[in-house]
Amino acid sequence: MRIVLAQINNVVGDVDGNIEKIKKVLYKFKDDEIDLVVFSELVISGYPPEDLVLKQSFVEKCWFGLQEIIKITEKYNLGTIVSLPVIEDSKLYCSAVLVDSGKVLGFAKKVNLPNYSVFDEKRLFSRGPEPEIYNFRGIKLGIPICEDIWNENVINILKKKGCEIVISPNGSPFDKYKRNQRITIINSRVNESGLPFLYVNQVGGQDELVFDGSSLIVNPDATIIEQGPCWEESFLVAEYNKESSKFLGNKIDFKESNALEDIYMATVIGLRDYVVKNNFPGVILGLSGGIDSALCAAIAVDALGPEKIQCFMMPSKFTSKESIVDAKVCAKNLKIEIDSIDIEDTFSSLKEALSGVFSGLPNDTTEENIQSRIRGTILMAISNKKGKMLITTGNKSEVSVGYSTLYGDMNGGFNPIKDIYKTEVYDLANWRNKNFPKNILGSEGNIIPSSILEKEPSAELRENQKDTDSLPPYEELDKILEFLVDYEMSIKEIINKGFNEETIKKIENLLYISEYKRRQSAPGVKISQKNFGRDRRYPITNRFRDKN
């Protein structure tokens, strides 16, 4: 038996488009002596569909799309597994349908519904009944859906019922630890059951989530026969020998994650699909001469191509000559258009307009924030006029402690580095200067000037300003934030890691009081196991502070 794992990039809600894509894949393999083509979780609706599945008209449209696929399988004498939301006995299930040559052989229903991290499936779907096996062309298949393989209960039942091949459609989003976690889970299920395993995952971006693909063909002894590429569509062909109960092929080594490459490509694919799937003609961003905007510009060029990117330098009297030069050199290296709009006259006019109200009050962060809001207003006006999406460029360190201006530099439709700490920003910029990954549209070489990488970080909103005026060095800040945010550690636990108690408490307080800003921030690519979004849901009004 020959089985294709179709690792494709679909679009949530685009049922017609997803059906056409599925049809093209089936057409591609109709003459290749293929028995079965397997697609990822909820391939018809797109994953994750969120509350779209609560609309009956949407679920019905998915059902009608399934009927088209059934007809195609009859025409081509093919089998397929496609997944969609299905209503049965007034209950909504996440289902995978096994079809053979125009006949439906069964509906596998997801049993284990994830309700943690970014997942809310218990509020959408009903838990499936005990899983069944399905006889497909003389071979008994088990079809656990995604979360069903993350503990042993479903696979054990399938094994007891005589399953010969496990085929698992997945919608497994990326984080920087996920790929290694997946292979550990799959190896556990294979070793427990002694069954060969096919794992198919989707690829592409969907709002804050990005899917890396990495589909797998695994034999009963847990040897990997083939691993799908990361960050691109692909098709794996598994050839099953019933006599040996194995897939044909030689063992390969599991491709370990390259952390920086994965993070970088996640931002590229996440931004690309957000822009393309939402029909924006291109993007704009402010290029300040600093590291964050330089990295975001590089990501944007790699995602969309230089012709789709337009940058703006918006200097004031506090902007250094070095920053102006750095921004221009960076734009030249990236081969993107850059324009300069001086904000000093506008800043002076606003200060004059507010002079009566501010009479007798000293200058403070208010005047700094006015500059940021002028820049934000200019960029949003250009975005509005040209129809291009504005990228915002705040890193996770700044987003964590509120080192940003609401309705200023936080303006924008998407933030590719929202879940990337400042120290990681430097690591990624250095990595990109030395590497030229597949499937990007930018240029090779040192695209981010060394002067940007080496300068001390500054918002340049007042004379001689440095980030360290109000924050610890980023090496220290990022470790504290990682412990507070990513690992939910207590003050005492972080002190035991060797950090100063007063500094930790200051950072924790900044983290809590900035919640209202984060609620109004642009979406950004999930990179860590605890991003600011559905991963972390803290109240805005909150008087709790950790005393220990």
Domain positions in the chain:
2-254, 261-412+421-466
274-301 pLDDT tens trace:
999 999 999 999 999 999 999 999 999 9
| Higher-pLDDT residue of 31, 520 | 520
Q: What percent of the chain has pLDDT over 90?
A: 90
Q: How far apart are CA 364 and CA 71, in angstroms?
A: 69
On whether the CB atoms of residues 291 and 456 are closer than 8 A, the answer is no
Mean pLDDT value of segment 370-376:
94
Q: What pLDDT sits at residue 468?
A: 82
* Residue 79, CA distances (Å) to 37, 136, 144, 442 in order: 6, 8, 17, 40
Residues 146, 230, 296, 311: which is the catalytic one? 146
What is the rounded distance in angstroms from the CA atom of residue 289 to the CA atom of residue 223?
A: 49
Strands across the sheet with 283-286, in order? 337-340, 309-313, 283-286, 389-390
Region 104-117: what's the mean pLDDT? 95
* Percent of residues in the chain assigned helix, strand, coil, to nearest 5: 40, 20, 40
What does pTM read for this prediction?
0.94
pLDDT at 487: 94
- The pLDDT value recorded for residue 461 is 80
Write down the pLDDT at residue 463. 79
Q: What is residue 73's predicted lDDT score, i.e. its pLDDT?
A: 96
Residue 466 reports pLDDT greater than 90: no
Closest CA to 37 of 133, 146, 167: 167
Q: Which residue has the tokens 């979004």?
A: 533
Q: What is the mean pLDDT of residues 312-329?
A: 93
Q: Within the chain, what is the greatest distance between any pair of CA atoms?
A: 89
Residue 230: active-site member: no
Mean pLDDT across the stretch 366-374?
Answer: 93
The pLDDT value recorded for residue 398 is 94
In whole angstroms, give the CA distance from residue 165 to residue 36.
12
Task: Give CA–CA dist 234/104, Å, rounded.
Answer: 26
Separation of alpha carbons 124 and 114, rounded Å: 11
Q: Percentage of the chain surpassing pLDDT 70?
A: 100
Q: What integer pLDDT is reported at residue 143 of this predicted model?
A: 98
Catalytic residue among 109, 110, 176, 396: 110
Nearest to 493 by CA among 515, 508, 513: 508
C-alpha atoms less than 13 angstroms from C-alpha of 312 in its C-beta half-sphere: 22
Question: What's the whole-number mean pLDDT along residues 542-547?
Answer: 85
Query: CA dist 230 to 167, 183, 286, 370, 425, Å?
Result: 20, 14, 31, 43, 22
CB distance 245 to 220 below 8 Å: yes
Task: Compute the average pLDDT of residues 106-132.
Answer: 94
| CA pair distance 519, 481, nearest whole angstrom | 18
pLDDT tens digit string along 164-208?
A: 999 999 999 999 999 889 999 999 999 999 999 999 999 999 999
Alpha helix positions (H), 49-177: 56-76, 153-160
pLDDT at 460 over 80: no
Contact assessment for residue 452 and residue 290, using Cβ atoms and an 8 Å cutoff: yes
Amino acid in the structure at residue 460 = E
Say whether pLDDT at 329 is over 90: yes
**pLDDT value of position 503:** 94
Q: Could you tell me how far CA 9 lies from the centroid of its own chain?
A: 13
Examine the pLDDT at 253 and tell me if it is beyond 90: no
Least confident of 265-274, 390-399, 536-545: 536-545
Please give the Cα distance from 91 to 122 (Å, whole number): 12
> DSSP letters along 283-302, please?
EEEE--SSHHHHHHHHHHHH
Specify the pairing of strand 79-88 against strand 283-286. Answer: unpaired
Neighbours of 134 (CB within 10 A): 18
Give the model's pLDDT for residue 471: 87
CATH 3.40.50.1580 matches 261-412+421-466: no
Mean pLDDT of 507-522: 95
**Cα gap 81→459, rounded to integer Å:** 53
Tokens 């025409």 belong to residue: 75
Greater pLDDT, 493 or 456 = 493
Architecture (CATH level 2) of domain 2-254: 4-Layer Sandwich (3.60)
Amino acid occupying residue 85: P
Supply the pLDDT for residue 313.
96
pLDDT of 255 over the 90 cut: no
Mean predicted confidence (pLDDT) in 393-421:
95
Confidence tier at 465 by pLDDT (50, 70, 90): confident
Handedness of CA 182, 183, 187, 188 (dihedral sign): negative
Predicted confidence (pLDDT) at residue 548 exceeds the cutoff of 80: no
Q: Which residues pair with 80 in a beta bridge?
A: 37, 99
